[in-house]
With several copies, the nearest count.
Chain A
């Protein structure tokens, strides 16, 4: 029984079913018990000839990053696929349409661009699709059929997966797709001579357990919000966060909650803060451009001490930027937040599992500490699909975290009472003796505007003091590797952290003395652990998906030492391969 770890890319134009084909493939492989991580890229235009790529890594081992090199490239559109050839391994497989539709120019045929070592299988996708269903639409399914035949994937099970995907459609649609698949399968079995050694049929798999779910980051966030008892979701559509709103629109009303689609992001966060003030859990989800519009309100949540949860799924920037590309370049903005000294909770999950976990935490912490919690995802994390163990629901303590005033408190109620923890008991509207006025102005313990030096200092300290308590609520950063005398310490965050972890594990396998640290909780940061880690490491490397090294700059104030950076702004997730290379490079330099 062999191990397998391969990357399949399907590349085509918008409207050719590229993404659906990828999705069906991933779901099917997952149902067989493989680990999968899939990730699509597509243009931000609705139609036209935009390029789509469905990328799936499939393995029987743990997967932490999407994989940089392609083992199998499936070409639905030649000219879009030419640049994808660069990522195909030396002896990788390319499946292409041997009868493609008309080309704009002669040199746009994929055949002319393949490197000598590549294994090319030409399949008449177009005519097979036509034959199966009377239209070229089914080319994607023909390709899946051919793949099943070529790489030892069971035919019948695959068909069931296709039927499932189109279950809500008309029978004729289901049939066309299944028939196209069949046509591809049969043709390939008969006509293609297999030259590669890739096969799924002989792989040892872990048993498929029942509570295994296929889910992407956005779905995980939405599910966690529902499980955390969210009552109001207020949102405004924006890629890559729109899906969270759409899920809420479907699911929240079933649970007696409300999904409010607002006129803009100012209103979205405003409604969230209103609901928080009234004592209900609420959230909004956006991306960088929307978050910029929310910055004023984020400061209000902090100042008026109202719980609010905001998801920012980052995309390429600046400005409207690259709506369908991934990047981690909103960190500085989110850390800085509103005007003034404005401490807030910032959580950055690095995996789909952590998307769930950090959302539950965000609701709990925001409510208990009466402040803003920002969840930083990115396009990749929002859309990358994983099959994961069903996460455990938040416990009772987490579901109801508001600290209410006691009867004694209410006798002479000071809503913003200075306490050791920074948390002041919070009365909710409707409580007879708890009346107070919250304000975005600086204010005294009773909420009355006050601008004297003493009040401002005491209240600022109170707001910052909450961070100490929060730090204790969350498990410390992951430190994987030796605790002292480390040659290379890699620190990362968000989706890049998973890639970095994978790279460090690989580096250790080849004998490099490397360690890894990351924290889901970025603010408050567990400075002690980072300082200790730093002290244990000869070199610190911070890989991240932005140009200027935003997290590295943030860390600098705590570490007081030079930091090596690895920055990528390709629009794609951080390849663990690149981090690995960088580690090896540093290891090399250290030896000299």
Chain B
């Protein structure tokens, strides 16, 4: 208990020193477990917003349900904590209603790839200009440790005590197959890398898919900080981000790469395309 308290205070103090971070942080103390990867992601999003000087009131953060779903509560912006799996259509509606807003859709692996997975191909093919942050901790956190769509095959969880029988989905491969116009991956332990990716993603005109690898320190004793720190590699600078097939090859690689896999800057966003087609 006092341990928990100290953790938050330390974090706070450290943060205050880093300029701008608190500009995008609400007054609510996160309800996440100490050590959860979500703290780092929160920080990186705040830093990216700060670096881009986004007016807080023009940001709309939409989330589903889960530990990740709590995110908007801790951000200083307009927020909508919606239903499990439904952040994407709601974020889409917000953007279509007011193109001036910067719209984020945030959710966990269960939220975005399980119950909400059906929305992804369609937001991608429509290329609606929102940025999706997938907080992938490979587990159902909030409901206490069941297998999710990205839990490794054979891993023991609270729902599969003998081992998860479902092969994990590969979020980057999915986003590429869906023709998302911006596809990238960050790691919760790599603050600078994340900030860089987030800035590119937010600036991108069209649908941006950002996959974030992050540990659930409470319910996943396999995919820990240590394991993760040693498992990821930055994408080589020589990678051509306009080459889909190359991106797919990277995504299918056994090693986990971090960085921007793919970006198509020429494709018009949904609203741009509508303007073209209806003015023609």
Contacts and interface: CB of A to CB of B under 8 A. Distances in A.
Nearest to A261: B159
Contacts of B81: 437-441, 449
B114 A46 contact: no
B73 A320 contact: no
A46 B83 CA distance: 18
A205 B142 CA distance: 42
A274 B142 contact: no
A241 to B, nearest CB: 10
Contact of B96 (A47, A258, A304): A258
B1 A246 contact: no
A278 B94 contact: yes
B33 A46 contact: yes
A532 to B, nearest CB: 41
Interface stretch (A207-215, A232-240, A367-375): A232-240
Contacts of A246: 146, 158-159
Contacts of B84: 289, 320
A437 B32 CA distance: 18
B219 to A, nearest CB: 8
B57 A273 contact: no
A456 interface: no
B134 interface: no
Given A270-B86, A437-B72, A237 B79 contact: no
A282 B97 contact: yes
Contacts of B160: 249, 261
A134 interface: no
Interface in A242-264: 242, 245-246, 249-250, 253-254, 258-264
Interface string B20-44: 0000001011111110000000000
Of the candidates A46, A102, A276, the one having the most CB atoms from chain B within 10 angstroms of its own CB is A46
Interface stretch (A24-32, A83-91, A427-435): A427-435
Of the candidates A234, A300, A430, A431, the one having the most CB atoms from chain B within 10 angstroms of its own CB is A430
A261 B89 CA distance: 12
Contact of A430 (B58, B70, B72): B58
Contacts of B32: 46-48
Interface in B55-72: 55-58, 60, 62, 65, 67, 70, 72
A363 to B, nearest CB: 14
Give the bracket for the number of chain A residues in contact with chain B. Answer: 35 or more
Contacts of B79: 435-438
A267 interface: yes
B244 interface: no
B97 A432 contact: no
A16 interface: yes
Given A46-B32, A266-B86, A448-B28, A272 B161 contact: no
A45 B70 contact: yes
B200 interface: no
A275 B143 contact: no
A430 B101 CA distance: 7
Contacts of B93: 232, 234, 270-278, 282
Nearest to B34: A47
A296 interface: yes
Contacts of B117: 263
B119 interface: yes
Contact of A253 (B1, B56, B278): B278
B97 A279 contact: yes
A319 B83 CA distance: 8
B90 A277 contact: yes
Contact of A48 (B31, B83, B95, B121): B31
Of the candidates B58, B84, B101, the one having the most CB atoms from chain A within 10 angstroms of its own CB is B84
Contacts of B2: 101-102, 136
A501 B197 CA distance: 62
A351 interface: no
Interface in A278-312: 278-280, 282, 289, 296-297, 300, 304
A13 interface: yes
Contacts of A296: 83
Interface in A404-436: 429-436
B143 A242 contact: yes
Contact of B83 (A102, A249, A280, A289): A289
B122 interface: yes
Of the candidates B82, B94, B114, the one having the most CB atoms from chain A within 10 angstroms of its own CB is B82
A451 to B, nearest CB: 13
21 contacts: A45-B31, A232-B93, A253-B278, A258-B96, A267-B88, A268-B89, A270-B92, A274-B80, A274-B93, A276-B97, A277-B93, A278-B98, A304-B80, A319-B83, A320-B65, A429-B98, A433-B57, A437-B78, A437-B80, A448-B73, A449-B73
Interface of B: 1-2, 4-5, 26, 28-34, 55-58, 60, 62, 65, 67, 70, 72-73, 76-86, 88-98, 100-101, 114-115, 117-119, 121-122, 140-144, 146-147, 149, 158-162, 166, 218, 271, 274, 278
The 9 closest A-B pairs by CB, nearest first: A274-B93, A270-B89, A437-B79, A48-B31, A271-B93, A275-B97, A280-B97, A278-B97, A45-B31
